[in-house]
Structure 1
Amino acid sequence: MSQPDIRVRRTRTLLRDALVELIEVKGFDRITVGELTTRAMISRAAFYRNYRDKYELVEQIFDEAMTEMTTLDGDTRSPGERWADFLKHIDGYHRLYGALLGKKGSPWFTDRMRAALAAMVSTHLPDQTADDLLPSVVSAMFLQSIVWWLESGRPVPPEQIAAQSSRLVRAVLQTTAGP
């Protein structure tokens, strides 16, 4: 897949930066496309050439990361390595994720992220179904690990928080496996 041209990348970067700044000031739910384009200093037409609304702007960033984490074709990374790479992505966009998952963030995004993590977890639990408690609990643990890490100022590298959260999840999985 080819990279978008420099103007598209610049527009996307400006919009992402504006989104973070506005979330920190107003909260995600109160932001309008007009405010985003004004803060980013781009036209509404440029926004709508790239996204249908502010939700798609956020979804694109998150979906790219989830695709990278869950794509298995020819991928030799272990689930733990994919999780660490996902946390590296979060680290790279820490202001955005911190804003979206923080106090002025978006319940919509938190729910979306939890559901995506639960779906990912379900693929690693072949005897479980998507509506079981276990994927929901594990995804909540992963999400809370991310929130804690961001709110604490990312005190450890992504690889370390990945290892710590993975150990917690393994303990839950071992406990639910029974005697």
Structure 2
Amino acid sequence: MNSKIDRRIKYTQMVLKESLIKLMKEKPITSITIKEVCELADINRSTFYSHYKDLYDLLHQIEDGIIEDMNETLSAYNYTKNEEAIQMTEKLLEYLVKNRESCQTLFSEHGNPTFQKKVMSLAHRHSLKSLMADRKNLPYNAEYLSLYIVNGSIHLVQHWLKNGLKESPKEIAEILISLANKGLSSLQH
């Protein structure tokens, strides 16, 4: 009996999340009502309120799940090895592809800038670990370099998501790691 209830709860939360994301593709959360989300999800408002305080609570749960998944992925790799850095980045990009609809929306102009900052902060922390492991070869302050790399990487990924994922996650991972390691000179052959 308990597993049946758990499945129903998971299903309800899933359709509410999907409905919010679908609506956010068209307009910002400030223009979306709980009524719209519930109608799209085919769920009544009292059911919505049994799971979430408001739309922002729902949005934050979506965002927190993505941040948690990304952190787990980033924590599983050794930053000092270039092959593992590419694999880690590729796994992150594969995650974005797998969760394409949510990620495209959350990284778009209708997405929450706070979420985008959280992603950048997470990437910055992990980037700093990598740079600190290789500190002896750095001519700059590692924190500044990390901020530069992370901001450029986020914008590159946003562009990739927005423009239909034409390149594979592996190709984008190789570009990102190459740029992070050697800058623009790495792209000149």
Q: Does 1:12 align with 2:16?
A: no
Give per-residue Cα distances to partners, 1:49-94, cap 9 Å, x unaligned.
9x980342222331232232222389x9812211111111100111
Q: Distance in 2 between matches of 1:102 and 1:79?
A: 26
Name the CA shift for 1:174/1:54 in 2 (closer, same or farther; >3 Å).
Answer: farther
Query: Which residue type is aligned with residue 114 of structure 2?
Result: W
Name the CA shift for 1:30/1:52 in 2 (closer, same or farther; >3 Å).
Answer: closer
Q: State how many pairs are aligned.
A: 169
Q: Distance in 2 between matches of 1:139 and 1:161?
A: 14
Q: TM-score, normalised by structure 2?
A: 0.74
The answer to whether the Cα contact below 8 Å between 1:33 and 1:54 also exists between their aligned partners in 2 is no
Q: Does 1:159 align with 2:159?
A: no
Partner residue, 2:159: 148
Kindly report which structure 2 residues correspond to 1:85-124, keeping only aligned pairs within 5 A, or say none.
Answer: 85-124=91-130
Query: Which residue type is aligned with residue 22 of structure 1?
Result: L
Partner residue, 1:41: 42
Partner residue, 1:137: 148
Q: Distance in 2 between matches of 1:12 and 1:67?
A: 22
Q: Which runs of 5+ in 1 are unaligned?
A: none
Partner residue, 1:26: 27
Q: Distance in 2 between matches of 1:121 and 1:28?
A: 31
Which secondary structure state, in structure 1, belongs to the residue aligned with residue 26 of structure 2? helix
Q: How big is the shift at 1:9?
A: 3.2
Name the CA shift for 1:12/1:64 in 2 (closer, same or farther; >3 Å).
Answer: farther
Q: Distance in 2 between matches of 1:96 and 1:59?
A: 9
Q: Does 1:57 align with 2:58?
A: no
Choose the corresponding residue for 1:84, options 68, 72, 90. 90
Query: Which residue type is aligned with residue 164 of structure 2?
Result: G
Q: Distance in 2 between matches of 1:32 and 1:59?
A: 19
Query: Which residue type is aligned with residue 174 of structure 2?
Result: A
Q: How big is the shift at 1:131?
A: 8.7
The answer to whether the Cα contact below 8 Å between 2:131 and 2:142 also exists between their aligned partners in 1 is no
Q: Distance in 2 between matches of 1:18 and 1:10?
A: 12
Choose the corresponding residue for 2:71, options 67, 70, 80. 67
Which secondary structure state, in structure 2, belongs to the residue aligned with residue 132 of structure 1? helix
Query: Which residue type is aligned with residue 13 of structure 1?
Result: M
Larger Rg: 2
Which secondary structure state, in structure 2, belongs to the residue aligned with residue 78 of structure 1? helix
- What's the RMSD between the two structures over aligned residues? 3.3
Shifted more, 9-18 versus 94-103: the winner is 9-18
Compare the two structures and name the one with the higher helix fraction: 2
Query: Which residue type is aligned with residue 72 of structure 1?
Result: A
Name the CA shift for 1:6/1:160 in 2 (closer, same or farther; >3 Å).
Answer: farther
